[in-house]
Amino acid sequence: MVADLRVELCGIPLRTPLIPAAGTLSRETLGEAADAYGAVLPKTVTPGPRRGNPPPRVAEVASGMVNSIGLQNPGLEGFLRELGGYEVGLPVFVSVAGDTVEEFSGLCARLASEPRVSAVELNLSCPNVEHGGLTFCAGPESVERVVAACRAALPGTPLFAKLASEGVRENSLAAEGTGADALTLVNTIPALTVDPHRREVFLKGGLSGPAIKPVALRSVYEVARLVEVPVIGCGGIASGTDVAEFMLAGAAAVQVGSSSFVREPGDILSELSGYLQGAGLSAAALTGSLRDRERVV
């Protein structure tokens, strides 16, 4: 028997529950990995082109990495010209970010008329220029403003709000209450690496990889019990059993980021398939079927 890997997300059928996490998919090598994925999710797009941060941009840490890329991207129009490169017969989800609420809703309005886009994900971990550079997911009021504006601009397309682990309960309720169709949990965690020899900051950025898995898992677990909309799990997923753990905790689908730099997503999917066969379950049946123990606090 072959395991049934299909899941559904906001009415979109996905061949597998694996989605590339924003900013971790290579257009150059998409063809090699496409078989493993249920959807394609390219790097966050901003209204205009961004050059990104000067190097260094990445640092390895125990069980993961820190990055500070600075959203280098060709801007929305440049991205739409390249969109064909992401079409491999899978639904395309587009991650967007702006400096202001208006920029976010403008991006959504433009994508509303783009039939090749199956869903839009709001990267709310970027700084809100109108609010002293705090991120858009720094608090529920800010989340409500941006999600409500984007919902109005994008009435007919599924809208995902991607949040950080900090304040995830309040922010998830705020996003759901203002019209998000799904929640992606979580983005990277603020982190710092230091060069002790030069006595300098090496990199101020976001932590990702297996190091953040327990934090991400806890966010998914708590929020899935709190909201009605589906949760997409993300953070440190590096194996088939990691995928299963996130789905058991309540995720309807998952995103694989940093680990796709060092493992083939197809291997992660095979492991998931093996797990499901052993358990005699379909992928969809995993979601939220985690049994609680009294000792879990």
Ligand X SMILES: Cc1cc2nc3c(=O)[nH]c(=O)nc-3n(C[C@H](O)[C@H](O)[C@H](O)COP(=O)(O)O)c2cc1C
List active site positions.
Answer: 126
In angstroms, what is the minimal distance from the CB of 6 to other proteins?
A: 25
The SS3 assignment for 43 reads coil
CA 113/CA 119 separation, integer angstroms: 12
CA 70/CA 193 separation, integer angstroms: 17
Q: Which uninterrupted H or E stretch holds 80?
A: helix 75-82
Chain residues 14-53 in contact with ligand X, contact rule CB under 6 A: 21-24, 43-44
By CB under 6 A, tell whether 188 contacts ligand X.
yes
Footprint of other proteins (CB under 8 A): 23-29, 32-33, 43, 51-65, 67, 69, 72, 209-210, 238-239, 258-264, 267
Q: Which two tokens stand for residue 100?
A: 């202001």
CA 119/CA 115 separation, integer angstroms: 10
**Is beta strand 200-208 parallel, antiparallel or unpaired with respect to 231-234?**
unpaired
Residues 147 and 176: beta-carbon distance below 8 Å = no
Letters for 202-241 (x = contact with ligand X by CB under 6 A, - = none) are: ------xx--x---------------------xxxx----
The smaller minimum CB distance to other proteins, of residues 11 and 55, is found at: 55
By CB under 6 A, tell whether 135 contacts ligand X.
no
The smaller minimum CB distance to other proteins, of residues 27 and 204, is found at: 27
Among 5, 59, 71, 101, binds ligand X (CB under 6 A): 71
- Phi/psi region, residue 235 (left: phi>0; alpha: psi -120 to 50; beta: rest), is left
The residues binding ligand X (CB under 6 A) are 21-24, 43-44, 67, 69, 71, 95, 123, 162, 187-188, 208-209, 212, 234-237, 256-259
